Amino acid sequence: MKRIDKIINNLEFERCIELNKECEKQRIFCKHGMEHLVDTCRLMHIISLEEELYFSKEILYACGLLHDIGKWKQYLDKTPHEIYGAEIAERILKECDFNDCEVIEITTAIRNHRKKDNELYSLSYLLYKSDKASRKCYLCKVEKECKWSKDKKNLKLLY
């Protein structure tokens, strides 16, 4: 996964991860750092295999790694992170040798990753499902204070 290594070592990606970390320093709820991003990647891969979806591992990992890179901007000025993140992701993906079709597929999924009603079995669907499944509500010390509704919380380990 050479292109994934390029993403991880990309200066703009590293900068966004640091900005997320800085903006979330005082946050007590779920964060949007490398642990969440890698969890999302791995869940995308697991669910893709279980549901017999045929996305390449590199596409899944690129999508999972990049889906929240615009979160810091949302904290600063309320710009939707899925929109801003897709713009950043486009630049990073091109710098990391993804072709135009792959860039469109991944950035579309990033733009849609907060929408529950994505087309079934699309990359957007897979990212939405994996992003939500990555949250470990069953281990969270502040779960009761979280604004997520009880039916949205992951109160048991699914994957």
158 found inside a domain: no
Task: Name 112's Cβ contacts closer than 8 Å, sequence gap at least 6.
Answer: 82, 118, 124, 127, 128
Q: For residue 143, what is the DSSP state?
A: G
Residue 156 lies in a domain: no
CB atoms inside a 10 Å sphere around CB 53: 15
Residues 59-78 pLDDT 10s: 999 999 999 999 999 999 99
Q: Which residue has the tokens 């009761």?
A: 144
CATH number at residue 65: 1.10.3210.10
Tokens 């640091």, residue?
18
Do the domain assignments include residue 153?
no
On whether the pTM is more than 0.95, the answer is no
Tell me whether residue 151 is in a domain.
no
In a domain, 38, yes or no: yes
In a domain, 154, yes or no: no
Query: 115-149, pLDDT tens digit by residue?
Result: 888 888 899 999 999 999 999 988 888 988 888 88
Host domain of residue 17: 2-145
- Cα-atom radius of gyration of the chain, to the nearest Å? 15
The SS3 of residue 28 is coil
pLDDT at 120: 80
Position 69, amino acid: I
Residues 95-108: what's their mean pLDDT?
A: 98
* Domain count across the chain: 1
